[in-house]
Amino acid sequence: MSHILQQQDQGVLHIRLNRAEKKNALSQQMYRELTEALQHATNDVAINVVLLQGTESCFSAGNDLQDFLGAGELNAAHPTVQFLYQLANFPKPLIAAVSGLAIGIGTTALLHCDLVYASDNARFQLPFTQLGLCPEAGSSLLLPKLVGYQHAAQYLLLGEAFTANEAQQMGFVNEVVSADNLTELARQKALKLASLPADAVQTSKALMKRGFQQVTLETIAAELQHFQRLLDGDECQQRIAAFFTKR
């Protein structure tokens, strides 16, 4: 059974995370399917925009830790690593509609989206240091660039959660609406983008990212090296063990 639902309509590929019983925690199979979906969207000229969404109560609680720990070293063959690079290199507009929890990769993935809309119940958190880990997905570069160093330090070093309204004030999300209106708002924005000349839109995106795209990829690579080093360390292993004990 797939936990990634896809629907294509009027130039928009709508991707939904559908693992509500696990709060949309991402397994390695889900990463594989997301990567394949983005690859397909890249190559299909009939797709102009991708809309990414979770369930009404949860966007994503981050990695499925047990599954992630069993997937081996964070090298080029690792499904999570492949997804990160596919996400960072995606050339077409990517829109996210976020409800409920967005934790870890559930938040850092949003930094690669061109437009982010959130419901008023959205809650974001980057608890990497609490697990003895460091940022990933280029967030150590992209978050300070987007919201300023002090805000980024508050969320990446302390791991404090922030609300949808706080995210909007910092420029992390474009607009906050009620949960009932979120899907329709994101869909209308996606359809509007999909109706515009695709070459012009994609060229504009590439030009906006031109000044920092290479350093983003280099940052992802550096983060992965440190993430693996910390993941192998005793302190991280103890904190992860404690996390499973609390569950």
Query: pLDDT for 126-161, tens place per residue?
Result: 999 999 999 999 999 999 999 999 999 999 999 999
What gap in Å lies between CA 18 and CA 16, rounded to an integer? Answer: 6
Q: Scanning the structure block, which residue is given the tokens 């889900």?
A: 30
Residue 129 structural domain? 4-181
Domain for residue 221, yes or no? no
Instruction: Give how many domains the chain has, as a whole number.
Output: 1
- Secondary structure element (H or E) that encloses residue 198, with its range: helix 198-209
CB 132 within 8 A of CB 233: yes
- Residue 185 per-residue DSSP state: H
Domain for residue 20, yes or no? yes
Domain for residue 78, yes or no? yes
CATH of the domain at 66: 3.90.226.10
Domain for residue 199, yes or no? no
Domain for residue 206, yes or no? no
Q: How many CB atoms lie within 10 A of CB 214?
A: 10
Please tell me the pTM assigned to this model: 0.96
Domain for residue 129, yes or no? yes
68: number of CA atoms within 13 Å, CB side?
15
**pLDDT score recorded for residue 247:** 58
Amino acid at residue number 240: I
Domain for residue 201, yes or no? no
**pLDDT score recorded for residue 69:** 84
Point out the residues of the chain with pLDDT beneath 70: 247
Q: How many CB atoms lie within 10 A of CB 55?
A: 16
What gap in Å lies between CA 200 and CA 48, rounded to an integer? Answer: 11
Domain for residue 209, yes or no? no
